[in-house]
Chains A and B, each alone.
Chain A
Amino acid sequence: MRINKDTKDNYKYVIEDPSIEMESFLYYLQGIFGYKEINKEDLWRFIDSEIVFMIRNRFKEVEIDPVIKTKLKIYEMDVAEAIAKAQREEEIRKKKNNIFQVNGINGDMYDYQRTGVQFLLNSEGRALLADSPGCGKSIQSLGYITHSGSKKNLIVCPASVKFSWESEIEKWTNLTSFVVDSSLDPRDIPYDVDCIIINYDVLKKYLIELKKHKFNTLVADESHLIKSPTAQRSKALKMLARDIQHVIFLTGTPVLSRPIEMFNMLNMIDPKVWNNYYKYAVEFCDGKQGYWGFEAKGATNLEKLHNSISKYFLRRTKEEVLSELPPKIPIEVPIELPPEDRAQYDLVESNLIQYLKNKKKTDRAIAKSLQAEKLVKLNLLREINAMGKLEVAKEKIDAIIEAGEKVLVFSNFNGPLKELYDTYEETSVMILGETPVEERGQIVKDFQTNPNKKVFIGGMKSAGVGITLTAASNVIILDYPWNPADLIQSEDRAHRVGNKAECINIYRIISKDTIDTFMQKLLKHKQDIIDKVIDGKIEEEEEKIIDQYINVLMEKYK
């Protein structure tokens, strides 16, 4: 039995000496493929490589003409590739079908975030989501709100992230939102918005009015802040939560290792089960009578606790979801400058404008020589802006340290950096322009190897280039540099080969209605500048940017 290349007519293949069994198979194939495709005159002849393939599959002993063998090989490879492709696509389809689709979110969520939303829905919106910082807890809670169709929603968070919530809602959903300012009359909280955003500290002031809103869902962000049942903010939140059907707590702090910090949240999520503080403290927190009274700082029976809360507790670490995450996660933290800083900023800004107007009238010819002078005045504006962000930065740093991670903080100004160093003296290291070069290596080593050194404080120019700080998995940018490349350089101090975290959160604190807004837009729309800067046109670009900003200011004060 042999399949040969045929020389007659258009037929391509011919079979010599088929066995009886093969012949009966060929008749069967003729019935399937038709007389045109496979025919018998003196010999069996056929056109399609598929038929060679089928005969070969059925009769392994059949010989194949070497000329045909190559064709058959190509056909077999096509079949194998097509089947492999079909299998791959089927796996993707299955995976997609299995992963829950979230309604009402504009944009793509990561798979683990969809799973998170599904978890919140399954727990009927009474849950504690404790993913690591940077995993996107807020978008998951927004996913719950949009998918469940919750109409009236209250978001309680630290003051420093109120505007982050506002921009997240705008970015990801079609929901309307309103940020409660502490000067607002409680009766002026609008009824016709989807999400009211308020900070913990003023909750008590607005409590009575907020209760009238009859919220469907309460999201409590950074909920470790209400760990103490006796704190004012905890009491206020508890009074609100009592009447709200869905209560979602968000925290990035690994609360399970300090179970006592979870009791208050559990009590609000499921008050029927978690209603006895002392029983909980004794069973899960090694609670006992100490010298100063009852103490519950330990962690006991963790497995039992974990099992008991698993239906409303979800935590994924960054390492667990790493394959889905990009190496750098830029997180914009929009804030409003505190009133004193705002007043100072506005004053300096208007003085600057007056100065520029005067100069413009008289000294146009020597404008170039004034560049340095303009820069000094603009830098004063930037430094005030950076100082105004310190409280928010400290809150962020505290949360990062609390989560057991390290952080780099960069600014272009020594003033705010030194103030931060004063606050975190025991747990931080600092490199400024004035730090002797011979000491810098030891400072970096100390930060990289000493577990007690949690915060690296550095000047963007002096510590932003040429050193490796891979012990950190977070970077806080206090202020934008004139040169976008400096920003990228600073962010990349932690994001380098050797960083075990592999995924870095980059927090860029941006104050509203300041030079930041301009710089932020500039960075977004002119990424190509970075390439030019790398080509060595730094000075030119800096000048251009400064001039552009001055034009913006002049327009503003026209």
Chain B
Amino acid sequence: MKHASLGEIAIKLGINKSKLAYYFNRGLLKPVSKVGAMNVFDADEVIKIVKKINQMKKSGLKLEDIRLSL
């Protein structure tokens, strides 16, 4: 699953899709391509970023600061 939708990645990660959608809307996740309303993401990259977000959140950083550091 190299390229996938947010729903597919959410399933793989076992986390709520709305969480990923929220990260996407806040600019933390960027699609690698877009056709119509369909956004496709690099699954490995998204997984990496989500792990990083989780770590940074634990250390008390706000989402906006995390976005700037990505």
- Measured between beta carbons, the chain B residues less than 8 angstroms from A20 are none
Cα of A54 to Cα of B37 in the assembled complex, Å: 17
The reply to whether A89 and B35 contact each other, CB–CB distance below 8 Å, is: no
Of B7, B16, B18, B40, which is within 8 A of A82 by CB? B40
Known contacts A81-B35, A82-B33, A83-B3; is-contact A34 B42 (Cβ 8 Å): no
Q: How far is the CB of A73 from chain B (nearest CB, A)?
A: 14
Residues of chain A in range 27-50 having any CB-CB distance to chain B below 8 Å: 28-29, 31-34, 37, 48, 50
Known contacts A54-B7, A54-B8; is-contact A34 B17 (Cβ 8 Å): yes
Residue picked from A31, A33, A82, A87, most chain B C-beta under 10 Å: A82
Give the 10 A-B CB pairs with smallest separation, nearest first: A86-B33, A82-B40, A85-B33, A82-B35, A78-B38, A86-B32, A86-B3, A81-B35, A83-B3, A50-B7
B55 in the interface, Cβ–Cβ < 8 Å?
Answer: no
- Measured between beta carbons, the chain A residues less than 8 angstroms from B40 are 79, 82-83, 85-86
Of B11, B16, B33, which is within 8 A of A89 by CB? B33
Residue of B nearest to A81 (CB): B35
Known contacts A50-B5, A79-B5, A86-B3; is-contact A32 B10 (Cβ 8 Å): yes
The reply to whether A32 and B3 contact each other, CB–CB distance below 8 Å, is: no
Q: Which residue numbers of B lie inside 8 Å of A, CB to CB? A: 3, 5, 7-8, 10-11, 14-18, 32-40, 42
Interface range for A: 20 to 34
Q: List 21 A-B contacts (CB under 8 A).
A: A31-B16, A32-B7, A33-B7, A37-B17, A50-B5, A50-B7, A51-B7, A54-B7, A79-B5, A79-B40, A82-B38, A82-B39, A83-B3, A85-B35, A85-B40, A86-B3, A86-B32, A86-B42, A87-B3, A89-B33, A90-B42
Cα of A81 to Cα of B17 in the assembled complex, Å: 22
- Measured between beta carbons, the chain A residues less than 8 angstroms from B15 are 32
Q: Which residue numbers of A lie inside 8 Å of B, CB to CB? A: 28-29, 31-34, 37, 48, 50-51, 54, 75, 78-79, 81-83, 85-87, 89-90
Known: A33-B17, A90-B32. 10 other contacts (CB 8 A): A33-B18, A48-B7, A51-B7, A75-B38, A78-B36, A82-B34, A82-B39, A85-B35, A86-B33, A90-B42
Cα of A81 to Cα of B7 in the assembled complex, Å: 17
- Measured between beta carbons, the chain A residues less than 8 angstroms from B16 are 31-34
Cα of A75 to Cα of B10 in the assembled complex, Å: 18
The reply to whether B11 and A54 contact each other, CB–CB distance below 8 Å, is: yes
Cα of A32 to Cα of B16 in the assembled complex, Å: 4
Residue of A nearest to B39 (CB): A82
The reply to whether A32 and B32 contact each other, CB–CB distance below 8 Å, is: no
Q: How far is the CB of A366 from chain B (nearest CB, A)?
A: 71
Residue of A nearest to B35 (CB): A82
- Measured between beta carbons, the chain A residues less than 8 angstroms from B17 are 32-34, 37
Cα of A75 to Cα of B35 in the assembled complex, Å: 10
Q: How far is the CB of A421 from chain B (nearest CB, A)?
A: 61
Q: How far is the CB of A145 from chain B (nearest CB, A)?
A: 38
Q: How far is the CB of B4 from chain A (nearest CB, A)?
A: 8
Cα of A50 to Cα of B9 in the assembled complex, Å: 12
Cα of A414 to Cα of B14 in the assembled complex, Å: 83
Cα of A507 to Cα of B33 in the assembled complex, Å: 44
The reply to whether B32 and A34 contact each other, CB–CB distance below 8 Å, is: no
Cα of A79 to Cα of B8 in the assembled complex, Å: 12
- Measured between beta carbons, the chain B residues less than 8 angstroms from A28 are 11
